Structure 1
Amino acid sequence: MIQQVHHPEFDRRMFSVKRIGLVANFEKKEVRALIPKLQNFCQKKGWKLDKVTGAKNLNGYDFLLTLGGDGTILKTARFATASGGSPTTPKKIPILGINVGSLGFLAAAEVKDIYSVLENISQGRYLVEERTMFAGQIYRRKRKINHFLALNDCVLRNPHSVRVINLEVKVDNHLVSEYQGDGLILSTPTGSTAYNLAAGGPLVSPELPVFILTPLCPHSLTLRPLIISQEAEIKIRILSNGQEILLSIDGQEEHHLKIGDE
């Protein structure tokens, strides 16, 4: 993610911008009104501005500009990382988030400041922050049936009732515990300020190479949130019988799991 730098003594970094990918909800009135002025600004800078509407090949873009809220940034991070990359060698495209929504915690600036932000970038006054993401796979009867990426969190819960669910958690093939409760949150440092925080999990600095495992209302006096190295392999197995378990990715993508799924 791209952040502005305002300190006058910051060492200038030349950011050679030629092509920008624009990701936004183009049905929004405020977004449509902004685009002509934005295109004119980019044209004067000698930048090409392209609308990006999905997970296509993103080669050639210097960065992606999002107009929206945190949901737009989360969606963009997933498809940008998946485009042309792999879980072991993900694609890295900087994202500049401009808040046009109601929730802009991840955004670099508000929409009223968009041109000053772009001017700072043209002058090299910026930093690129790397953020940890999940790369996960879903297995059923030892066969991979799906995969996913997440910037904020993955949540396992019962989608239909308040009945408890049962989960087995292993880290690097060592049993951590069997969780019985409303569910489980697996969070990145970026997502530590989201559902994880509301569930009583710890706040973690974004640059730390860790994941956070936070139980939801565990039926136990001893189960507490855990901080785990991002180098570790985390395996979660569904133990609940006769229940459908919902896996939610960044609150936007859903997968339905059954007993025995990992």
Structure 2
Amino acid sequence: MKVALHGLTLKIEFLEDVRTLFTALHNHNFDVFVTEQFDRQLRMHGNIGLSYWLLDGTDDMSQMDFLISIGGDGTLLDSVCQVGELETPILGLNTGRLGFLATVATDMIHEAVAHLSDNNYQIEKRTLVSLNCNRRLFNGINFGLNEFTIHKRDTSSMITVHTYIDGKYLNSYWADGLIVATPTGSTGYSLSCGGPLISPEAKNLVITPVSPHNLNVRPIIVSDESEITFEIEGRAEKFLISLDSRSTSISSDLKLMVKKENFHARLVKLPTYNFFDTLRYKLNWGFDMRN
């Protein structure tokens, strides 16, 4: 089997874990490939004696059985962009911090690789959000796993986002911004702005305002079959939009529409994984500092 490795950064304290990963993959007869970004990170640490091939574009990626994301949730979000509509299964090795998506700890490397080799895992299909616009944005990578966001630029005054669901008027949000999050993204930016938690298999999107001026405005959950369109007003000429961690500046004359993407992100989950266990652990539910 063939596996691709992708990482955006590689701190020296995780170098030994990477060596362990390479050893485990070779011991289970995986052919190891790396992306250009991760190759640069490995080369920064000099000759570390690792054997691999360099991925050369989409054709090579299409031959991969798995992609292992080495980093935190941000790296896994970027891994989704690396894979795109190929839907290559992605396993997240957590060398970051929180790890809602990158759920495999570094002390589980040998166990995780063994599960991959034995086909002892599950695939979770995660909904992606897609942006349609009358101008090419984000270099054509117009989808994201977590959320699409409209935001004011810099320290400018609030903006008004007129929002429509399937062509029907929903609300005019007078706020710092607006988030459309997938169930996966409900544990991210949307959560920090008061949005609800949604289980990954739910067929919904959540619209969450960012610092709304009207305190009676609350997040709303809509079907992921909805088409959500926006008209933006504000004193500034430019606004920010983002897909996950990728941002760009736009003007208010652009037509924006968000909907569910036609393909999915396929995340590899090991037999020990449970979403609700992860939720309790990461959010410290049930934790009493008095004890």
TM range (shorter): 0.7 to 0.9
Provide Cα deviations, 1:131-176, integer angstroms capped at 9, x if missing partner: 111111233xxxx232511111122111211511011111111111
**Structure 1 33/26 Cα, relative in aligned 2: closer, same or farther at 3 Å?**
farther
**Structure 1 228/91 Cα, relative in aligned 2: closer, same or farther at 3 Å?**
farther
Q: Distance in 2 between matches of 1:56 and 1:241?
A: 43
TM-score, structure 2 length as denominator?
Answer: 0.74
Give the conservation status (yes or no) of the 8 Å contact 2:160–2:232.
Answer: yes
- 2:70 aligned to which of 61, 67, 71: 67
Q: Which amino acid aligns with 2:154?
A: H
3-state secondary structure, aligned to 2:136: strand
Q: Which amino acid aligns with 1:61?
A: M
The equivalent of 1:193 in structure 2 is 187
**Structure 1 25/177 Cα, relative in aligned 2: closer, same or farther at 3 Å?**
closer
What is the deviation of 1:241?
4.2
**Structure 1 53/31 Cα, relative in aligned 2: closer, same or farther at 3 Å?**
farther
**Structure 1 244/43 Cα, relative in aligned 2: closer, same or farther at 3 Å?**
same
TM-score, structure 1 length as denominator?
Answer: 0.82
Q: Does 1:236 align with 2:213?
A: no
The equivalent of 2:249 in structure 1 is 256
Q: Does 1:97 align with 2:92?
A: yes
What is the deviation of 1:64?
0.4
**Structure 1 27/121 Cα, relative in aligned 2: closer, same or farther at 3 Å?**
closer
Q: Distance in 2 between matches of 1:118 and 1:27?
A: 20
Structure 2 runs not aligned, ≥5 long: 38-55, 256-291
The alignment of Structure 1 onto Structure 2 pairs a total of residues equal to 232
Give the conservation status (yes or no) of the 8 Å contact 2:146–2:181.
Answer: yes
- The residue correspondences of 1:130-149 to structure 2 (distance < 5 A) are 130-139=125-134, 144-146=135-137, 147=140, 148-149=142-143
Using the aligned pairs only, state the percent identity: 30
Q: Does 1:219 align with 2:213?
A: yes
Structure 1 runs not aligned, ≥5 long: 1-17, 82-89
The higher-RCO structure (CA 8 Å, 6+ apart) is 2
- The residue correspondences of 1:53-132 to structure 2 (distance < 5 A) are 53=36, 56-57=57-58, 58-81=61-84, 90-132=85-127
3-state secondary structure, aligned to 1:129: strand
Q: Distance in 2 between matches of 1:29 and 1:221?
A: 46
Greater share of helix: 2
What is the deviation of 1:27?
4.3
